[in-house]
Structure 1
Amino acid sequence: MLLLSLTLVQASVACMLTGLLLWGLLSQAARHWPALAAQRSVWLGAQLVLAAAFVLPLLPATQQLSVVPEVGVPAALAVLNPLDPLGPLGHLAPGLPMATDAPATAPPSGMAWLALAPPAWSLIYLLGLVCTAWRWQRGRAMLRTLLQLAQPRHLHGIDALEVDAPISPMLVGVWRPRLLLPVHLAQFTPEQQQLVIVHELTHARRRDPLILLLATLLQALLWFNPAARWLAGKLAWAQELGCDRQVLAGRPPRECQQYAAALVKQLGLQMQPLPGLGFGGGTRVMAERVMRMREGQKRQPVAMRVLTGSALCAIGAASLALQPSLAWTVAAVPAAMLAAPATAPAAWRNPLDTMRVTGFFGVVRPVTPQGHSGIDLAARRGTPVHAAADGIASVSEDARLGKAVRINHGGGVESLYAHLDQVRLATGMAVTAGQAIGTVGATGMATGPHLHFQVSRNGHLQDPQQWLAGLDAKATARALRVRKEQFGR
């Protein structure tokens, strides 16, 4: 639960930053290419990019796409399992329960407040969703009341509903939209009435109600982000401008004047617009629509559409790739646990055919003294995992380690292979060095496919470098640099 809260904070921050980038890009683009304002695909695409920047980091399968090093999180933020030598992400130790001589370290006083931030934001986010849903439901209730009061009417060959209320003509419904007209539409000329109805029917042909529903759901999901509200408003504006353009296409100037006059007359008769697609709007909206009718609306050049779409895709990809994965930070491994065993063991077989060490034993993070209980070996999902030495296997699975295999090698020595995708043996089976015991995965609380390999002796964690030969030559530059900075070797 805490991992989800932390990831939600990270996703929310990424969504805010992505929204800022989208606002800057599209504001400048609309300033240079005014025709962009009527392109609903651009504004809907921007909303989808913003939603992806928020949702994708919450999915474990996408966290491995990040190209930025993980961010350490103080161990004081977690409620840890004292029987689990691995951290909730499977590659950092939340404590040293196997070393009974290691004293407990109290978290700094400020950590108590810091620990409340992720769950507090999770609660605020859920409350925001509830409030957003309540406001949406209240608007829908008003529409249902109007529909109950409405009477069927046949106007200009179209079956519609008429209600005695100061509303704008509108479409109600998504899958089977119905035309809801106010009684005051009778004050319009027959030509104006026909243009108003054509406007609403054009919305239905363009599937605007369905797009509006999708935009509403996205805005509810991202209720905390001002950019989401801005994009939703721009999308609604683009729908109206696009509809105006299609209605007026090829019509003589007189009908265009009648259309503009109908807009102005509607403004004086309606009250606050209801949620939905309606032939109306505020004073500023009406004035700009009339101005665009006089000037004529031009389509955005194809090259500009391609350029804008490419920029949106680039922002979406960057928002995901530049998000670091979360990692726990914990108390440092005591020096006694870094000491060599009393009897130096013979080198074991490597658990992977191709070794790529991304994290060494005992390395600490900069936030607090921390320690890694084993080594991390990066590999693709499905890579075979081999037993490092002979022994008796035991299989387990839990929320943190995922699918894991422990092998008792005798003499108090045990090896652990965590986050496996598949396990190819059962508890109690005897294994030999090099035997395939499973495949690499990302089960449990892991930031991506990798193997966490850990060694303990008589209940004390050991540095796997004492048991596996040549790890330095198989380590990434970052892993070597971090270890050197902290241990000088």
Structure 2
Amino acid sequence: MLLFSLTLLQASAACLLTGLLLWGLLSLAQRRWPALAAQRSVWLGAQLVLTTAFLLPLLPDSQQLSVVPEVAVPVALVNQAFIAPADMALPAVAASVPSGAAWLALVPTAWGLIYLLGLAYSAWRYQRGRAMMHTLLTLAHPRRLHGLEVLQVDAPISPMLVGVWRPRLLLPAHLAQFTPEQQQLVIAHELTHARRRDPLFLLLATILQALLWFNPAARWLAGKLAWAQELGCDRHVLAGRSQRQRQQYAAALVKQLGLQAQSLRGLAFGGSKDGMIDRLVRLRDGQPCMAPALRALTALVLCAIGAASLALQPALAWTAATVPAEITAPPATAPMAWRNPLASMRVTGFFGVVRPTNPNGLRGLDLAARRGTPVQAVADGIATVSEDARLGKAVRVDHGGGWQSLYAHLDSVNVSNGDAVTSAQLIGTVGDTGRATGPHLHFQAWHNDQLQDPQSRLAGLDANASVRALRMRKEQFGR
């Protein structure tokens, strides 16, 4: 939960920065190339890039895409701020917490709650809009206009297309005040929306905007997409028509804006008054075309922004040690050291270290080895064999005096329950059974049913550890 909350906060910040970059670049590009305003693919593509920048970091192992150094996160601050499941208690703080800084631990959780509330509010607004549209449809009456089956309602709204999979044409009664030619142009505009599958694009944009409700750039891009859909329909309807018909179309648009009381969400002929001067100029002079090369360049720039937003997001690192509640310090009088469980040791994860796959701290040692590598008992004892979904095939050896060793994720087991084993005896081979990301040996040490740091019983681990394992331990434990 902690790791996800921190990642959500990081993904939200990255989404805001990506949105700022998209807003700046696309605003400059639109000034240089006005034809960009009518390209719905550009604005929808920008929304998809923004959503990818937000969602992809939330997926497992996505931080591996990062090419920048890790950012330190004070994990120790969460001791009192988060509640873990009963069978995996929250970490006990193993490093001192700076006075007055504990409130920082609440920031990720608070943002997670705020984000969920924002999603709920977006869903409520969408449902309210649907209810309003349903009310209009219940008041509408079917009729035929210019050979088409339409719904007519006596309300000051814009002519619009309603529905996604089976769009229906909803027309206001005041459309009768328009000339027959203007009526035909208005209906042609809405039918063009249906042929271009604009309702489906509008639904997708609404979903993306709800996911990114916190980002002003998402709302800006959604508005630009809706505007591009209107300009695109204008271009298709007026293609090849005379200047007089263009004037009739513009007059119908101005008249509709004067009659409608408000602009409803959807594909409407009148729409908003914002940018209407630019739209009328385009109706009069015709809309500029966007060269294929410019389209390809725009797509390439959007892909580059998306890739950069992911590659430049730093992975999360940890600055304070967190140790599972079951972990305790080794007894003051520990017996003699054990022999190593593998002939060739390669430590890739130290005890207690927090990783994305172990947010509550590693409960033992992770030792890299090929599948089939012999695993040997660290000391004399009595073996117990088990297998479960988490540890896979495992052997536990009771060495007496309350001490036990555990060997997990084995590929094969060479002992049976109750067998007496001797130090260095083969008890199994390395594998990746259970919840493992690859072949390795997970080794645990126990004393009186309490987890212990195996480093207190095994010698030479630092000299045989990977650079990453040593670095993570130093970041968290300072050693």
Shorter chain as denominator, the TM-score bin is: 0.7 to 0.9
Worse overlay, 326-335 or 213-222: 326-335
CA distance 1:224–1:428, change in 2 (3 Å) = farther
Within the candidate set 435, 440, 445, 1:456 is matched to 445
Q: CA deviation at 1:123?
A: 2.1
Output the CA distance in 1 between the equivalents of 2:438 and 2:179: 68
2:221 is aligned, of 231, 242, 250, to 231
Equivalent in 159, 168, 171 of residue 181 of structure 1: 171
Shift, 1:275, TM fit = 0.9
After alignment, is 245-254 or 478-487 more displaced? 478-487
The answer on whether the counterparts of 2:320 and 2:476 sit within 8 Å (CA) in structure 1 is no
The residue type paired with residue 284 of structure 1 is D
In 1, Cα distance between equivalents of 2:404 and 2:139: 79
SS at match of 1:414: strand
Which TM-score applies when normalising by structure 2? 0.80
1:388 is aligned to 375
Specify whether residues 481 and 2 from structure 1 end up closer, same or farther in structure 2 by C-alpha distance, changes over 3 A only: closer
Partner of 1:117: 107
Q: Confirm or deny: 8 A CA contact 2:391 2:433 kept in the other structure.
A: no
Asked whether 1:439 is paired with 2:443, we answer no
Change (3 A) 1:378 1:190: farther
Shift in Å at residue 230 of structure 1?
A: 0.9
The percentage of counterpart residues that share the same residue type is 56
Partner of 1:46: 46
1:317 is aligned to 2:307: yes
**Cα offset for 1:240?**
0.9
Q: What is the distance in 2 between the residues matched to 1:487 and 1:300?
A: 58
Distance 1:362 1:289, change over 3 A: same
What is the match of residue 69 of structure 1?
Answer: 70
User: Does 2:340 align with 1:347?
Assistant: yes
Give yes or no for contact 1:388–1:433 (8 Å, CA) kept in 2.
yes
Q: Deviations along 1:383-424, whole A, 9 cap, x unmatched?
A: 747563235443445xxxx4456533442241454xx6x976
CA pair 249-358 structure 1, distance change in 2 beyond 3 A? farther
Over residues 301-336 of structure 1, what are the superposed CA-to-partner deviations in whole Å (9 max), with x where a residue is unaligned? 222222222222222233333241465843589997
Q: Is the 8 A contact 1:407 1:416 kept in 2?
A: yes
Map 1:87-126 to 2 at 5 A.
94-95=91-92, 110=100, 112-126=102-116
* Deviation per residue, 1:99-156 (Å, 9 max, x gap): xxxxx87855545433333332222222212211111111111211111111112112
- State how far apart, in whole Å, the 2-side matches of 1:480 and 1:375 are: 12
Matched, 1:196 2:186: yes
TM-score normalised to structure 1 length: 0.78
* Partner SS, residue 408 of structure 1: strand
Deviation at 1:182, TM superposition (A): 0.9
* Matches of 1:441 and 1:36, distance apart in 2: 53
Q: Which has the higher relative contact order, 1 or 2, with Cα contacts under 8 A spaced 6 or more apart?
A: 1
TM-superposed CA distance for 1:15, in Å, is: 2.0
Could you tell me which runs of 5 or more consecutive residues in structure 1 were left unpaired when the two chains were aligned: 89-93, 97-103
- Helix, strand or coil: the match of 1:388? strand
Structure 2: 5+ residue runs without aligned partners? Answer: 378-382
Tell me the SS of whatever aligns to 2:283: helix
Q: How does 1:129-148 map to 2 (within 5 A)?
A: 129-148=119-138
Map 1:296-335 to 2 at 5 A. Answer: 296-321=286-311, 322-325=313-316, 329-331=320-322
Instruction: State the distance in 2 between where 1:429 and 1:279 align.
Output: 81
**Residue in 1 that maps onto 2:380:** none
Matched, 1:158 2:148: yes
- Distance in 1, matches of 2:318 and 2:392, equals 19
Distance 2:114 2:175 in 1: 44
Distance 1:121 1:484, change over 3 A: closer
> Counterpart in 2 of 1:79?
83
Q: Does the residue aligned with 1:161 lie in a helix, a strand or coil? A: strand
Map 1:395-474 onto structure 2 (within 5 A): 395-397=387-389, 402-403=390-391, 407-411=395-399, 412-415=403-406, 417=408, 428=417, 433=426, 435-436=428-429, 438-439=431-432, 453-456=442-445, 458=447, 459=450, 461-464=452-455, 467=458, 472=463
Name 2:255's counterpart in structure 1. 265
CA distance in 2, matches of 1:449, 1:49: 32
- Aligned to 1:435, the other structure's residue is in SS state strand
Q: Which amino acid aligns with 1:345?
A: W
**Partners of 2:264 and 2:418 in 1: CA distance:** 69
Q: Which amino acid aligns with 1:224?
A: F
Q: Deviations over 1:174-228 (max 9, x none)?
A: 1010111111111111111111110000000000001101111111111111111
Aligned counterparts of 1:131 and 1:332: Cα–Cα separation in 2 = 38
Query: In structure 2, do the counterparts of structure 1 residues 449 and 138 end up closer, same or farther at CA, with 3 Å as the change threshold?
Result: farther
Give the equivalent residue in structure 2 for 1:91: none
Q: Distance in 2 between matches of 1:207 and 1:433?
A: 67
Kept in 2: contact 1:376–1:450 (CA 8 A)? no
Moved more, 223-232 or 323-332: 323-332
Amino acid at match of 2:188: V
Matched-pair contact (CA < 8 Å) for 1:361–1:374: yes
Single out whichever of 255-264 and 61-70 deviates more from structure 2. Answer: 61-70
| Structure 2 residue aligned with 1:28 | 28
Distance change in 2, residues 1:164/1:240 (3 Å): same
2:211 maps to 1:207: no
Please say if residues 348 and 468 of structure 1, whose CA atoms lie closer than 8 Å, have aligned partners that are also in contact: no
Q: Secondary structure at the match of 2:290?
A: coil
Give the structure 2 partner of residue 475 of structure 1.
Answer: 466
More off after superposition, 282-291 vs 387-396: 387-396
